[in-house]
Chain A
Amino acid sequence: MSIELITFIVMIAVFLLGCFAAKLPVSISMVLSAISGALVAGQGIPLRHLVEGMFSYVDTILVIATAMIFMKVIQESGALDAIASVIIERFHKVPALMLCMIMLIIMFPGMITGSSTASVLSAGSIMAPVLMMMGVPIVETASILAMGGILGMIAPPTNIPAMVIGAGIDIPYSGFGLPLSLLTFPLAALFVLMLGYKHVKKMNFLEVQAKLNTESRKKFGLKVYIPLVLAIVLMTLTKLVPAFSIGMPLVFLISAVAGCFTGYKINLLKVSKDSVNSVLPVMGILMGVGMFIQIMTLTGVRGFIVTTCMSLPEWARYIAIAVSMPLFGAVSSFGSASVLGVPFLLTFLAQDEIIVASSLSLIAGLGDMMPPTALAGIFAAQVVGMEKYTPVLKKCFVPCLIIVVWGLLFIAGANILEPFIILG
Chain B
Amino acid sequence: MITIIYRLLVVYVIGLVGWNLFTEKKLTAQMNCAMVLIPLVLRALMIK
Residues of A within 8 A of B (CB): 24-25, 27-28, 31, 51, 54-55, 58, 61-62, 65-66, 246-247, 249-250, 253, 272-273, 275-277, 280-281, 283-284, 287-288
Contact = CB atoms under 8 A, between A and B. Distances in A.
B36 to A, nearest CB: 5
B32 A65 contact: no
Given A28-B35, A62-B13, 20 more contacts: A31-B35, A51-B39, A54-B39, A55-B42, A55-B48, A62-B10, A65-B16, A66-B9, A66-B13, A249-B9, A250-B5, A272-B12, A272-B16, A277-B20, A280-B32, A280-B33, A284-B32, A284-B35, A284-B36, A288-B35
A27 B32 CA distance: 7
Given A51-B39, A273-B20, A281 B9 contact: no
A31 B34 CA distance: 13
Given A58-B43, A276-B13, A247 B6 contact: yes
Interface residues of B, number: 24
Q: Is the interface of B mostly helix, strand, loop or mixed?
A: helix
A253 B38 contact: no
23 contacts: A25-B29, A28-B31, A28-B32, A51-B39, A51-B42, A51-B48, A55-B43, A61-B36, A62-B10, A62-B13, A66-B13, A247-B6, A250-B9, A272-B16, A273-B16, A280-B17, A280-B20, A283-B17, A283-B36, A284-B35, A287-B36, A287-B39, A288-B35
Nearest to A287: B35
B39 A281 contact: no
A51 B39 CA distance: 7
Sort A-B residue pairs by CB-CB distance and give the 10 closest, nearest first.
A284-B32, A276-B16, A54-B39, A283-B36, A58-B39, A287-B35, A277-B20, A65-B13, A25-B28, A55-B39
